[in-house]
A and B are shown apart, each in its own frame.
Chain A
Amino acid sequence: MSIHIQNVSKKFGSFQALQDVSLHIQSGELVALLGPSGSGKTSLLRVIAGLETSDVGEILFDGQSMTERHPKERNVGFVFQHYALFRHMTVFDNVAYGLKVRPRKTRPPKAEIKNKVMELLQLVKLENFAERYPTQLSGGQRQRVALARALAVEPKVLLLDEPFGALDAKVRKELRRWLRKLHDDFHITSIFVTHDQEEALDVADRIVVMNNGKIEQIGSPDEVYTNPKSPFVYDFLGNVNLFKGRLHNGKLMHGEFSIDVPNTEAHTEDHAVGYVRPHDIQIEKTNIAGTVPAKVSHIHLLGPIVQIELRREDTEEFLEAELPKEQFINLQLAIGDHVFVKPKQLKVFIPEDFSI
């Protein structure tokens, strides 16, 4: 089912949670709403589910307006961050709930409900836990019950609010792979909210980056990661180093340092900021034109990637670089070494247009 969100705004008291948000989600897509807390991502998800009503704007499912519809009429599966399982019901009854509350005419017979629930429990690998109560399960198991419960009503849209936020790193990784598989098997449209960029990059078809109630950028994981449209997106999706300077003749300059910036015609007197990912920082032991002198202040050996903390000798600012281990060994770097640093590629934003 395709989802159209048209000019949705929502205020909580004086707090503008959503500000003229428009978004089109295609049928079968798995979309991540990514942003820091307070960015409006959960509000948007709740507006789509009907748990919150928008002040302005329309929500359309397959072209049909849902704006005035009660959540129970929207046929939406909602998974809550803290699972929201029914404590007094067994796992089986939790999953069967959505089928049991149907009006008599559309309610499947008991045997059919049982089959369906057991099938779903098998899918989430909890068939042996049917008679347990939610309090007897681990966090990951509870979230799987919540997912099975949401899927039992055969929703056309699956909405997940920070579904793995309360779980530990390993379970989280496992569950998100598994969510991807589930999404593909069930042919549904899924939207999930997360503040974890890694999670969004890992599973989503498209990422919607939100900030201050507005959409900053929409695009595929690769697009938003390699081609962020704003400093905010750059900063939010991974670590970043800032190179301040002025733009002149297609170069970003600061003292000795200058680097070519492709596709810029702009000239600024000052205050242009170049954004560089840690893995785009090149470290040399000899001085080449356009490099910045720096001193190695810290080295973290983390498996195949080596993180190096550097202190720029001209501005005293800290930089972070990432090298493959092999390259690190070839360079023979040690703490205290004087090196020369150059961004392999960078993106320049001019703060007049964008505020960080």
Chain B
Amino acid sequence: MSSLTINKKSRRIIPGFHLSLGYTMLYVSLLVVLPLSMIFLQTMSLSWQEFWHIITDRRVVASYKISFGTALAAGLINALFGTIIAWVLVRYQFPFKRLIDGLVDLPFALPTAVAGIALTSLYAPKGWIGQFFDFKIAFTPLGIIIALTFIGLPFVVRTVQPVLQNIQVEVEEASASLGATRWQTIWKVIFPELIPAILTGFSLAFARALGEYGSVVFIAGNMPMKTEITPLLIMTKLEQYDYAGATAIAVVMLVTSFVLLFTINIIQWLANRRFVH
């Protein structure tokens, strides 16, 4: 009898809670947690000292800086320009709008190696674009940032677009009738509504850029200490059959990425809490 009353209390309107929760747990475990724990397991074959030695190697530390620095830069660039693109696509009517809307997704579909080769030939010192600059773009961190910006573009656009579409024009009109300038309306009324979406887009683009390998290796030049990204170092170690060394670096990347993404999630949660109840 008592179990019956408890059941009644926790009754949900939509059935299947236990089933779907169980399924989610299994799915996430199989697809995310299990493979990732293998990395930790592999790393365990190292002693603490060996592990520390590998992950604090000068070349490795330099690669962290390159990887996180360029991914962050690319994420920020995408946050800014992705928002502008979303704005233009939502707010204005112009010829070939649909086509441009479709083009935004292309970096997702393109094999990243193809993107890397295309970008390298454009930005190489003798390339179509590279020749106009008296400093090098390809084979420098700048080139890496360009490649990472390219592959992360759709994230911000696609997260901001629907939110922007849902903002009532009335809210902007209210702002204008209260005496706000166009700029004040954008800054004080529209932008705060977009922050959660921009943050989501940014963290997706950032995460994608951190793990990116294919497009970067071509344009980076892969000079140790200068333009060598962490995923490449991991690949190098794998090619030398140094599985433990590779996973040790991977663990560092994984933990750092997780902490960063988790922090962004918290910021996002705080931003959301203010007006999504």
Q: Are A71 and B171 in contact (CB under 8 A)?
A: no
Give A98's nearest chain B residue, CB to CB: B178
Give B171's nearest chain A residue, CB to CB: A84
Q: Are A97 and B180 in contact (CB under 8 A)?
A: yes
> How far apart are A52's CB and chain B's nearest CB, in angstroms?
10
Residues of chain A within 8 A of B189, CB atoms compared: 86
B133-176 CB mask vs A (1 if < 8 Å, else 0) is: 00000000000000000000000000000000000101101111
> How far apart are B79's CB and chain A's nearest CB, in angstroms?
18
Q: Are B173 and A71 in contact (CB under 8 A)?
A: yes
**Cβ-based interface call for A292 (8 A):** no
Additional 13 contacts, C-beta under 8 A, given A74-B177, A78-B173: A50-B177, A71-B176, A72-B177, A80-B174, A85-B174, A86-B171, A88-B193, A101-B184, A133-B275, A136-B277, A146-B174, A149-B178, A150-B178
In the bound complex, CA of A76 to CA of B174 (Å): 10
> How far apart are B194's CB and chain A's nearest CB, in angstroms?
10
Closest 4 CB pairs of A and B: A98-B178, A84-B170, A78-B177, A101-B180
Residues of chain B within 8 A of A51, CB atoms compared: 173, 176-177
> How far apart are A72's CB and chain B's nearest CB, in angstroms?
5
In the bound complex, CA of A50 to CA of B179 (Å): 12
Q: Say which residue of B168, B179, B276 sits within 8 Å of A98 (CB atoms).
A: B179
- Which A residues are within 8 Å of any B CB, using their own CB? 49-51, 70-72, 74-78, 80, 82, 84-88, 97-98, 101-102, 133-136, 146, 149-150, 152-153
Q: Are A72 and B176 in contact (CB under 8 A)?
A: yes
Contact flag A133-B177 (CB < 8 Å), given A84-B171, A101-B184? no
In the bound complex, CA of A97 to CA of B181 (Å): 12
In the bound complex, CA of A78 to CA of B184 (Å): 18
In the bound complex, CA of A76 to CA of B176 (Å): 10
Q: Are A88 and B274 in contact (CB under 8 A)?
A: yes
In the bound complex, CA of A25 to CA of B181 (Å): 28
In the bound complex, CA of A241 to CA of B68 (Å): 79
Q: Say which residue of B168, B177, B180, B275 sits within 8 Å of A88 (CB atoms).
A: B275
Please report the number of residue pairs spanning A and B whose Cβ atoms sit closer than 8 angstroms. 76
In the bound complex, CA of A51 to CA of B185 (Å): 14
Q: Say which residue of A76, A82, A102 sits within 8 Å of B177 (CB atoms).
A: A76
Q: Are B170 and A82 in contact (CB under 8 A)?
A: yes
Q: Are A78 and B277 in contact (CB under 8 A)?
A: no
Residues of chain B within 8 A of A150, CB atoms compared: 177-178
Q: Are B170 and A101 in contact (CB under 8 A)?
A: no
Q: Are A80 and B188 in contact (CB under 8 A)?
A: no
Q: Are A80 and B170 in contact (CB under 8 A)?
A: yes
In the bound complex, CA of A87 to CA of B174 (Å): 13
Q: Are A153 and B277 in contact (CB under 8 A)?
A: no
In the bound complex, CA of A297 to CA of B168 (Å): 49
**Cβ-based interface call for B69 (8 A):** no
**Cβ-based interface call for B111 (8 A):** no
In the bound complex, CA of A49 to CA of B170 (Å): 13
Residues of chain B within 8 A of A97, CB atoms compared: 175, 178, 180, 188
Residues of chain B within 8 A of A85, CB atoms compared: 171, 174
Residues of chain A within 8 A of B179, CB atoms compared: 72, 75, 98, 101-102, 153
> How far apart are B80's CB and chain A's nearest CB, in angstroms?
20
Residues of chain A within 8 A of B184, CB atoms compared: 101
Residues of chain A within 8 A of B127, CB atoms compared: none
Give A82's nearest chain B residue, CB to CB: B170
In the bound complex, CA of A149 to CA of B175 (Å): 10
Contact flag A153-B178 (CB < 8 Å), given A82-B170, A136-B277? yes
B246-277 CB mask vs A (1 if < 8 Å, else 0) is: 00000000000000000000000000001111
**Cβ-based interface call for B192 (8 A):** yes
Task: Tell me the B22-76 residues at the A interface (CB within 8 Å).
Answer: none
Residues of chain A within 8 A of B275, CB atoms compared: 87-88, 133-135
Residues of chain A within 8 A of B181, CB atoms compared: 72, 101
Residues of chain A within 8 A of B193, CB atoms compared: 87-88
Q: Are A88 and B277 in contact (CB under 8 A)?
A: no
Residues of chain A within 8 A of B171, CB atoms compared: 84-86
In the bound complex, CA of A84 to CA of B170 (Å): 6
In the bound complex, CA of A105 to CA of B261 (Å): 43
> How far apart are B192's CB and chain A's nearest CB, in angstroms?
4
> How far apart are B162's CB and chain A's nearest CB, in angstroms?
16
Q: What are 29 A-B interface contacts by the 8 Å CB criterion?
A: A51-B177, A70-B176, A71-B173, A71-B177, A74-B177, A75-B179, A80-B173, A84-B170, A84-B174, A86-B171, A86-B175, A88-B192, A88-B275, A97-B175, A97-B178, A97-B180, A98-B178, A98-B179, A101-B175, A101-B178, A101-B181, A101-B184, A133-B274, A133-B277, A135-B276, A146-B174, A149-B178, A153-B178, A153-B179
